[in-house]
Chain A
Amino acid sequence: MTAHHQTLLGRYDVLDWGDGCVIYDRSGFLTHLLDPATAALLRDSLALGDEVQAPYRLQTLLDELLPLTGSLGVSP
């Protein structure tokens, strides 16, 4: 299964495998794992065309969906 890859609002890189997705936030430098249910909410928003027609609504949704903490990798 190959991931669906898209960049949202010029800030969020999304890799979606259907059974879960990961999002890299280029501004916060954090990576987040969305569980299938949360990923479905994001998909619904995108299906409505929010990225083009209602970017403010999409940004608000992402602010709600993405936790304040995420993965940064490790320090050697």
Chain B
Amino acid sequence: MELHQLDPAIARQRLAAGLRLRSGPFVVALRSDIPALSQQVLQQYAHHTVVDDDGFCDFHVHVTPPANLRRWWRPQARFLLDGDEPFTPLPLHHAFPMLEWGLNWCISTQAHQYVILHAAVLERGGRTVVMPAPSGSGKSTLCAALAHRGWRLLSDELALLGLNDGLLWPLTRPISLKNRSIGLIRDFAPDALIGTPVPDTIKGAVAHCAPPAAAVRAAQTPARPGWVVLPRYTPDAPALLSPLPKAQAVMELIDACFNYSIHRHQGFAALGRLVDSSDCHRFEYSQLDEAMAIFDRLAGTDADADAGADAEVAVEAEAEANEKTRAPPARAAGNAAP
């Protein structure tokens, strides 16, 4: 049963007692008595599957106001995992972003059956595009736009790479939009379900965009690698796809990997296989329509091998021609912080 099929009053009751939702390969027992958070969960997780209470659960999460004065005076929200509180409380109206950031933390610190990257992942024609990028690069904006233009959303934030099978596993959850990108996606995809913006978070104003229902329903279906694309939003820049040497692509993925130091040489091999199976590019953009056209061309190259090869050469040749008049982007040195 999907969450939206529950009567809203019953869903809120179950949420207050502990509601179990399937999110990709994980089951989360979510408990909260914060009305605004309940409303956001019902909206953003509407198509996620409600799981019976007696099965295994990966994460027991409780988001609740403190038991002290801060329940009423400048009210706050606390995030608890198995009763432990890993973060300092945030203002109460930050409860939903806090839940999302907290879940990201739970997965990236514990789900080591995967190589976990700070990256968006989408799929088209059976192949995924993995987009690692630091905050502010326009990754989530691009991800939300693609997710509403024919690409299946696997994840906005965490790429789960199977250590042994080399597949990308879906973790289809709300897309976190920040600041200007909230209005951009509202205009670009009027059918997108975007929650009320939460102002003054550490990332500025944040609003979450619900994952498309079809993507949530396909969240048990992994996909093979196809492309690694490093996006970067640059104001007024024309959309530009340029080739990225594979050795550099591996380094970029390592810099975006949360548990590389745990997997060591096995993680190195897994990321090497991912890059081996992918075409690798840098991508600079400012206009979403231009970006969609380039990504459609990328995906089209897979549908028709011969014509596709020509199209890809055209994209790369165009990029090389453009690059002659533009300075190549510098490689990020050291560790990238998400």
Contact = CB atoms under 8 A, between A and B. Distances in A.
A72 interface: yes
A17 B109 contact: no
B109 to A, nearest CB: 5
A2 B194 CA distance: 41
B326 interface: no
Interface string B251-269: 1001111111100110111
Closest 5 CB pairs of A and B: A73-B260, A20-B247, A24-B268, A76-B108, A73-B257
Contact of B265 (A1, A21, A26, A75): A26
Contact of B248 (A2, A24, A33): A33
Contacts of A57: none
Given A2-B276, A31-B250, 16 more contacts: A3-B272, A13-B269, A15-B250, A22-B250, A22-B251, A24-B265, A26-B264, A31-B268, A33-B247, A71-B251, A71-B254, A71-B335, A73-B258, A74-B118, A76-B104, A76-B258
B272 A5 contact: yes
Contacts of A17: 245-247
B311 interface: no
Contact of A72 (B247, B260, B276, B338): B260
A21 B245 CA distance: 9
Interface in A1-20: 1-3, 5, 13, 15-17, 19-20
A34 B264 contact: no
User: What bracket does the count of chain B residues touching chain A fall in?
Assistant: 20 to 34
A73 B334 CA distance: 9
Given A13-B265, A71-B335, A72-B260, A21 B254 contact: no
B255 A20 contact: no
Given A3-B272, A26-B265, A76-B105, A33 B251 contact: yes
Given A71-B254, A73-B260, A15 B272 contact: yes
